[in-house]
Amino acid sequence: MKSFLILEDGTVFTGQNVGSTRDVISEIVFNTSMTGYLEVLTDPSYAGQAVVMTYPLIGNYGITPDMESNKPWPMGYVVRELSRIPSNFRSEGTIQDFLQKNNIHGITGIDTRALTKILREKGTMNGLFTTDENYNIDEIIPKLKKYHTGDVVSKVTCEEKSILKGNGKKVALLDLGAKRNIAKSLNDRGCEVVIYPAHTTAEEILNSNPDGIMLSNGPGDPKDCQTIIDEIKKLYNSDVPIFAICLGHQLMALATGADTHKMKYGHRGGNHPVKDLATGRVYISSQNHGYVVDTNTLDDKIAKPAFVNVNDGTNEGLSYIGKNIFTVQFHPEACPGPQDTSYLFDRFINMMGGEK
């Protein structure tokens, strides 16, 4: 069956349908990772979006146990080609079945490079996935323009508190759409990790006397999370060490008076160079964000840039003055992507006064 991807600017791509046939409107973003399609699919930060994989051969090693959350989050999935058979010793099934089972509208056989170039040149756009050959583009475009990802954090956060047992430092992880490997990275270092739903109050977290607080990644526009920002402001005012990743990093910046803005097409992939401004070292990082902290709006008495993106100079991390708080835009937990910055978890543990 044919599937169509109709963009806000009127461009239509035609491919083969895979997975769900339901009509889906979402924000279309591209990811340049060459491996890790399953980690991408199960990253809650993609809630409200559809992902285009720029690497053309997807599904080669099938579905493995490498899920970053309980289920896949993108509503649409665009690839050049899906492998006919999966091949890997851990493979448990095909990506075709996985998309079907999880009701994701997939399209294969389209020129993903041409699509990526459009998104690069015109910026991230919304799009409709449909199998209806008689689509009416004039009716669709206004609907596309209206679409906004909205409060997606509420959709992706856990419903209730859970605990990963450990003998080391006690970390409260605020789940804004956390990838599993954040909790795992801490737990692997001995930490006891208590995972809280996104709308937990600061009071509840602080009352549990954690040694440190971890703010996770998550989907959507950070400014759609005003109630969470208010709570984070309270966490900032406590003296508990805080480490934040991606959305958490943006929310902390907003909570302390800085601003964020939407990027033209974001950073999504596993090859972005970030420079640690303290040492001059450059690390290759895993990234997935469409918004960024505006460095010009930083109050230099509150926070200063700690990492910068070597390619486009955008902010990649902040360290908070007089506070045990540091935050990064990229993903030290990797999965998918390079593990070069996993040392930041060790830094966090040191900050909590702990041994690794």
Partner 1 sequence: MPKNNAIKKVLVIGSGPIVIGQAAEFDYAGTQACRSLKEEGIEVCLVNSNPATIMTDKEIADQVYIEPLDIKVLKEIIIKEKPDSILPTLGGQAGLNLGMELAESGFLEEHNVKLIGTTAETIFKAEDRQAFKDTMEKIGEPVAASLVVKNVEEGIKFTNTIGYPVVLRPAFTLGGSGGGIAHNEQELVDILTNGLRLSRVGEVLVERCIAGWKEVEYEVMRDANGNCITVCNMENIDPVGVHTGDSIVVAPSQTLSDKEYQMLRSSALNIIDELKITGGCNVQYALNPDSFEYCVIEVNPRVSRSSALASKATGYPIAKVTAKIALGYNLDEIENAITKKTFASFEPMLDYCVVKIPRLPFDKFITAKRTLTTQMKATGEVMSICDNFEGALMKAIRSLEQHVDSMRSYDFTQLSKEEILEQLKIVDDRRIWVIAEALRKGISYEQIHEITKIDFWFIDKIAILVEMEDRLESEELTVDLLREAKRMQFPDNVIAQLTKINEEKIRHMRYENNIVAAFKMVDTCAAEFEAETPYYYSVYGSENEAIETKPEKKVLVLGSGPIRIGQGVEFDYCSVHCTWAFAKEGWETVIVNNNPETVSTDFDIADKLYFEPLTAEDVESIVNIEKPDGAVVQFGGQTAIKLTEALMKMGVKILGTKAEDVDAAEDRELFDKILEETHIPRAAGGTVFTADEAKEVANRLGYPVLVRPSYVLGGQGMQIAFSDEEIEEYMGIINRYAQDHPILVDKYLQGKEIEVDAVCDGEDILIPGIMEHIERTGVHSGDSISVYPAPTISDKVRETIVEYTKRLAKALHVKGLINIQFIDMDDEVYVIEVNPRSSRTVPYISKVTGIPIVDLATKVILGETIRSLGYEPGLAPTADYIAIKMPVFSFEKLRGAEISLGPEMKSTGECLGIAKDFNEALYKAFLGAGVVLPKHKQMIMTVKDADKEEAVGVARRFANLGYKIYATRSTAKYLNDNGIEALRINKITQESPNVMDLILGHKIDLVIDTPTQGGDKSRDGFLIRRNAIETGVNCLTSLDTANALALAMETANGKLTPVDIAKVKNA
Measure the CA–CA gap between 235 and 238, rounded to whole angstroms: 5
Query: Would you state the torsion angle of the CA atoms of residues 17, 18, 24, 30, taken in this order, to the nearest 10 degrees?
Result: -100
The least CB distance from residue 344 to partner 1, in Å, is 15
Q: What minimum distance in Å lies between the beta carbon of 221 and partner 1?
A: 22
Closer to partner 1 at the Cβ: 210 or 336?
336
Active site residue 333: yes
Confirm whether 225 is a catalytic residue. Answer: no
Residue nearer to partner 1 on the CB measure, 54 or 216:
54
CB closer to partner 1 out of 81 and 224: 81
Cα separation values, 282 from 2, 32, 274, 347, Å? 45, 20, 5, 17
Contact 308, 316 (CB under 8 A): yes
- Shortest reach from residue 159's CB to partner 1, in Å: 28
Catalytic residue of the set 8, 267, 333, 335: 333
> Do the beta carbons of residue 207 and residue 228 sit within 8 Å?
no
| Token pair listed for 62 | 């099938």
Q: Which of 105, 272, 289, 331 is catalytic?
A: 331
Q: Which of 8, 246, 249, 272 is catalytic?
A: 246
Binding site per annotation, positions for L-glutamine: 45, 218, 220, 247, 250, 288, 290-291
Q: Identify the residue whose tokens are 């409200």.
A: 48
Q: How far is the CB of 64 from partner 1 (least distance, A)?
A: 5
Annotated catalytic, 289?
A: no
Which residues define the annotated binding site?
45, 218, 220, 247, 250, 288, 290-291
Side chain identity, residue 67 = M
Secondary structure (H, E, C), 305-346: EEEEECCCCCEEEEEECCCCEEEECCECCCCCCCCCCCHHHH
Binding site for partner 1 (CB under 8 A): 30, 32-36, 38-39, 54-57, 60-61, 64, 66, 80-81, 83-85, 87-90, 111-114, 116-117, 120, 269-273, 275, 280-284, 310-311, 334-340
- Cα separation, 35 vs 334, in Å, equals 12
Residues with a known catalytic role: 246, 331, 333
